[in-house]
DNA sequence: TCAAAAGTGTTATCCTTACACCCATGT
DNA sequence: ACATGGGTGTAAGGATAACACTTTTGA
């Protein structure tokens, strides 16, 4: 077993693609790039990785993000490396192979660049359950996926059948909705040919042609897939790391904090339980001020206690089940 | 904001590096590659990614692993993409920049290749707590890290100080040991210059020169870092996915299953609680046979119930605290 | 009959979930 | 006074952690 040590490695272009998230007016938003070549679809900002200029991926990422957008991102985390042939293709593809290392970055909404951020639920309307189950699920998605599941009985080397995957991902047939399965849901829709990116990739929708409504706005290349990964990771991370505070202003009320968590996780939360959670985790401290912004009783203002990072090993907002 | 769309991407060599895990005789082992160029250090197997030959990373990985080792890996999962300049360097480095996409793969111990697998605790002796706290921690690691922590008060842009990181990662000073923080611990040792790879990278140990004992066997390139990532991920995944069964023979006793989980997580588990967990999760079914191998009362044999994958959304072995 | 390992029953505790109610302010 | 949102106490249920004890075999 020679372990490939003498194999020469294929030269490939490596790009860093960033899902840069901010929350404004109770709406999670991502930075979309101005489109080159009059492509009407939105895309995520990306830049090349130059190992000569930057010692690590993260340094490189911060550098070109700052250069392109004047945004200094705070929290940065690698998501996944995407390299499927075909899924990076654009209509005018040159044939060169590109792999993209996806990154999640969090920032406070910058004053100057606010217009460049788009609400992320434009791209994933079925992920916003804050006002109950989105209509698009029962009206379009689940019926179309059920039709797809009836076709193609057993695929080789697939652990689960189509029906089971539909159940688990979309909570059909009694299974609960899991807000963290954002990527699984998108991938299922892709496989079923129900998102535009899949059709662009040559995958024909299994269901009746022509009458498929657009399921969320498409993005360039595989960027919607990367965004789905970012949302899923952020929703999961909220529960065991205090990352929300990267998205909050310095002082805030508990309701504002709850609204931000709800915006990200796409669910409604139980007020009292949320508050106790924040309190027992000792994540915040009162400033003493109150805010009389919203018209009811003035709310006490809080700030994030930075010292929790030194005290507790995994301080997050482990928000529970339904509410 | 031009979004880098017209930027040309730097060509870089991309390799897939695999941590291939099997468990044999209650010992977790990884496949180490025969060393090229008489490098005495062990290394992980790796191969190039050729986008022309393989549509996805995973297909490429399975292909060269099968070709090089005649092993058909079962479960495969991407870990992380590593690209730090310097950390891939070997003594006779050519200067070409390489990034490696790390993968975790699980397999049953193959008959023919058993000799190529090394117990992973050779590389991380401080991670094996099955017989209590390893001596190397109190004898060497913690004292050396405390010495390191006393130096260098505050580093810029570091959220936590050295002392706090030591506490969280190694459970010094009252914090509990978290068996999932394998990577954090290795990275801390690396930063402190206490593992050989760091010294090779030019980082001088902060502590007294010359008398630093070797902390685990070193590996080539950044392979020990990738292995640490793999162990951490596997230890975490055990708790919410039934991945252990990828490492078990078709039939097994509950004690064998427990020993395997203990081997991976490096902890001793409470027998009764483990059994109830397995039972209530309905992960296994009795075969009806018994095994009289170990000398006491014969043990009932079980097999993995593949249908749980279709029933429950996240069936794992959520093993609890100390025991 | 004894060692060695398999296998079981039960309780205390904590955390999660959900309920229903009171408080302070502006109009 | 009342609408609006802020803020709290407490009990039911379930999961977890830990206890000690019985059973079946081989030597």
- Report pLDDT digits (tens) over A103-138: 999 999 988 777 889 999 999 999 999 988 999 999
Cβ(A116)–Cβ(A32) under 8 Å? yes
In a domain? residue A22: yes
Closest partner residue to A313 (CB to CB) among B3, B33, B178 is B178
pLDDT recorded at residue A319: 73
Q: Tell me the C-alpha distance between A82 and A104, whole Å.
A: 14
Name which residue leads in pLDDT, B21 or B315.
B21
Q: Which of A143-157, A297-311, B177-191 has the highest mean pLDDT?
A: B177-191
Is A44 in the same domain as A61?
Answer: yes
Rounded to an integer, the average pLDDT of B138-157 is 82
Question: Which residue bears the tokens 């708790």?
Answer: B239
Is A88 in the same domain as A156?
Answer: no
Q: Which residue is nearest to nucleotide D8 (CA to C1')?
A: A272
The closest nt to B271, taking CA to C1', is C7
Q: Is the CB of B295 under 7 A from strand D?
A: yes
Last residue of a domain, one of A181, A216, A251: A216
Sheet containing B284-291: which strands, arranged edge to edge? B251-253, B299-304, B284-291
In a domain? residue A284: yes
pLDDT recorded at residue A3: 43
Q: Phi then psi for B58, rounded to 5 degrees?
A: -65, -40
Is B109 in the same domain as B32?
Answer: yes
pLDDT recorded at residue B184: 95
pLDDT recorded at residue A206: 56
Q: Is the CB of B321 under 7 A from strand D?
A: yes
Specify the 3-state DSSP secondary structure of A316: coil
pTM over 0.75: yes
Confidence of residue B6 (pLDDT cuts 50, 70, 90): very low
Residues of A in contact with B64 (CB under 8 A): 4
Last residue of a domain, one of B75, B91, B120: B120
Question: Which residue bears the tokens 């993968």?
Answer: B103
Is B61 in the same domain as B140?
Answer: no
Tokens of B205: 């140990």
- Estimate in Å the CA B256 to C1' D26 gap, whole number: 20
Confidence of residue B286 (pLDDT cuts 50, 70, 90): very high
pLDDT recorded at residue B7: 44
Q: Tell me the C-alpha distance between A282 and A276, whole Å.
A: 9
Residues of A in contact with B69 (CB under 8 A): 1
Domain count, chain B: 3
Bridge partner residues of B12 (DSSP): A12
Residues of B in contact with A6 (CB under 8 A): 36
pLDDT recorded at residue B159: 64
Nearest to B116 by CA among B201, B18, B200, B199: B18
Bridge partner residues of B130 (DSSP): B132
Residues of A in contact with B98 (CB under 8 A): 9
- CATH number (domain holding residue B110): 3.90.79.10
Q: Tell me the C-alpha distance between A287 and B40, whole Å.
A: 59
Q: Is the CB of A295 under 7 A from strand C?
A: yes
Distances in whole angstroms, Cα of residue A60 to Cα of each of A34, A103, A116, A241, B185: 21, 12, 22, 25, 25
Is B116 in the same domain as B17?
Answer: yes
Is A48 in the same domain as A112?
Answer: yes
Q: Is the per-residue pLDDT at B76 higher than 90?
A: yes
Is B248 in the same domain as B154?
Answer: no
Compute the nearest-CA separation of A43 from chain B (Å).
Answer: 9
In a domain? residue B229: no
Q: Residues for chain A: how many in total?
A: 323
Last residue of a domain, one of A59, A94, A121: A121
* Distance from the Cα of residue A258 to its chain's centroid: 19
**Cβ within 8 Å, pair A51-B85:** yes
Q: Which of B141-155, B171-185, B206-220, B232-246 has the highest mean pLDDT?
A: B232-246
User: For the segment B17-63, what is each residue's pLDDT rounded down to a tens digit?
Assistant: 999 999 998 999 999 987 666 567 889 999 988 888 888 999 999 99
In a domain? residue A39: yes
Name which residue leads in pLDDT, A297 or B90.
A297
Tokens of B307: 């249908």
Cβ(B313)–Cβ(A168) under 8 Å? yes
Cβ(A56)–Cβ(B85) under 8 Å? yes
Residues of A in contact with B116 (CB under 8 A): 1
Would you tell me the crossing angle of helices A223-237 and A254-265 to the nearest 10 degrees? 140
Q: Is the CB of B270 under 7 A from strand C?
A: no
Q: Phi then psi for B222, rounded to 5 degrees?
A: -105, 30
Distances in whole angstroms, Cα of residue A271 to Cα of each of A258, A259, A274, A297: 8, 10, 5, 16
Closest partner residue to A36 (CB to CB) among B6, B51, B57 is B6
Specify the 3-state DSSP secondary structure of B119: strand
- Estimate in Å the CA B275 to C1' C12 gap, whole number: 20
Is A33 in the same domain as A110?
Answer: yes
User: Least CA distance to B31: which residue of chain A?
Assistant: A3
Q: Is the CB of A232 under 7 A from strand D?
A: no
In a domain? residue B258: yes
Q: Which nucleotides of D are covered by protein (CB under 7 A)?
A: 3-10, 16-20, 23-27
Specify the 3-state DSSP secondary structure of B48: strand
Confidence of residue B265 (pLDDT cuts 50, 70, 90): very high
Chains A and B: how many Cβ contacts under 8 Å? Answer: 171
Q: Phi then psi for A147, rounded to 5 degrees?
A: -60, -45
Cβ(B116)–Cβ(B110) under 8 Å? no
Q: Tell me the C-alpha distance between B46 and A87, whole Å.
A: 25
A55-64, A256-265, B39-48: which range is least confident on average?
A: B39-48
Is B173 in the same domain as B270?
Answer: no
pLDDT recorded at residue A6: 41
Residue A260, domain extent: 242-311
Which of A2, A7, A10 to mutate to probe the B interface, most B CBs <10 Å?
A10
Burial B311-321 (b: 16+ CB within 10 A, else e): eeeebbbebee
Residues of A in contact with B8 (CB under 8 A): 48
Rounded to the nearest integer, the mean pLDDT of chain A is: 85
Q: Is the per-residue pLDDT at A223 higher than 70?
A: yes
DSSP state, A162? H
**Angle made by CA atoms B134, B136, B139, in degrees to the nearest 5:** 120
Is A170 in the same domain as A253?
Answer: no
**Cβ within 8 Å, pair A160-B101:** no
**Cβ within 8 Å, pair B1-A33:** yes
Tokens of A129: 């359950």
pLDDT recorded at residue B119: 96
In a domain? residue B1: no
In a domain? residue A320: no
Specify the 3-state DSSP secondary structure of B164: helix
- CATH number (domain holding residue A256): 1.10.10.10
Is A104 in the same domain as A138?
Answer: no
**Cβ within 8 Å, pair B45-A97:** no
The closest nt to B321, taking CA to C1', is D17
Distances in whole angstroms, Cα of residue A39 to Cα of each of A221, A316, B170: 11, 40, 51
- Contacts (Cβ under 8 Å, ≥6 apart) of B210: none
Handedness of CA B225, B226, B228, B233 (dihedral sign): positive
Rounded to the nearest integer, the mean pLDDT of chain B is: 85
In a domain? residue A280: yes
Q: Residues for chain B: how many in total?
A: 323
Confidence of residue B301 (pLDDT cuts 50, 70, 90): very high
- Helix ranges, B10-116 (H): 57-69
Cβ(B133)–Cβ(B123) under 8 Å? no
pLDDT recorded at residue B2: 39
Is B209 in the same domain as B153?
Answer: yes
Q: Is the per-residue pLDDT at B294 higher than 80?
A: no
Cβ(A106)–Cβ(A95) under 8 Å? no
Question: Which residue bears the tokens 């985390």?
Answer: A77
Confidence of residue B145 (pLDDT cuts 50, 70, 90): very high
Q: Is the per-residue pLDDT at B3 higher than 50?
A: no
């Amino acid at each position: 077993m020679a372990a490939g040590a003498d194999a020469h490695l294929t030269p490939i272009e490596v790009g860093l693609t960033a899902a840069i998230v901010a929350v404004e007016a109770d709406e999670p938003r991502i930075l979309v790039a101005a489109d080159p070549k009059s492509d009407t679809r939105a895309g995520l900002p990306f830049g090349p990785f130059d190992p000569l200029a930057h010692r690590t991926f993260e340094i490189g990422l911060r550098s070109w993000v700052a250069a392109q957008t004047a945004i200094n991102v705070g929290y940065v985390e690698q998501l996944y490396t995407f390299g499927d042939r075909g899924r990076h293709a654009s209509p005018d593809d040159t044939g060169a192979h590109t792999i993209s290392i996806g990154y999640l970055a969090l920032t406070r909404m910058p004053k100057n660049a606010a217009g460049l951020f788009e609400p992320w639920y434009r791209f994933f309307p079925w992920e916003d359950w804050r006002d109950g189950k989105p209509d698009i699920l029962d009206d379009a998605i689940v019926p179309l996926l059920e039709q797809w599941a009836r076709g193609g009985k057993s695929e080789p080397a697939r652990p689960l059948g189509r029906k089971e995957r539909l159940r688990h991902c979309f909570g059909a047939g009694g299974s609960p909705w899991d807000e963290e399965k954002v990527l699984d849901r998108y991938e299922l829709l892709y496989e079923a040919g129900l998102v535009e990116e899949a059709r662009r990739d040559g995958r024909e929708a299994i269901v009746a042609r022509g009458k498929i409504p657009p399921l969320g706005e498409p993005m360039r290349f595989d960027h919607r897939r990367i965004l789905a990964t970012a949302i899923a990771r952020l929703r999961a991370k909220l529960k065991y790391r205090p990352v929300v505070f990267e998205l909050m202003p310095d002082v805030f009320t508990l309701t504002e904090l709850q609204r931000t968590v709800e915006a990200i996780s796409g669910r409604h939360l139980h007020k009292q339980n949320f508050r106790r959670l924040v309190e027992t985790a000792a994540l915040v401290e009162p400033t003493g001020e109150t805010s009389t912004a919203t018209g009811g009783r003035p709310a006490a203002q809080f700030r994030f206690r930075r010292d929790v990072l030194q005290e507790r090993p995994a301080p997050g907002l482990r928000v529970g089940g339904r509410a």
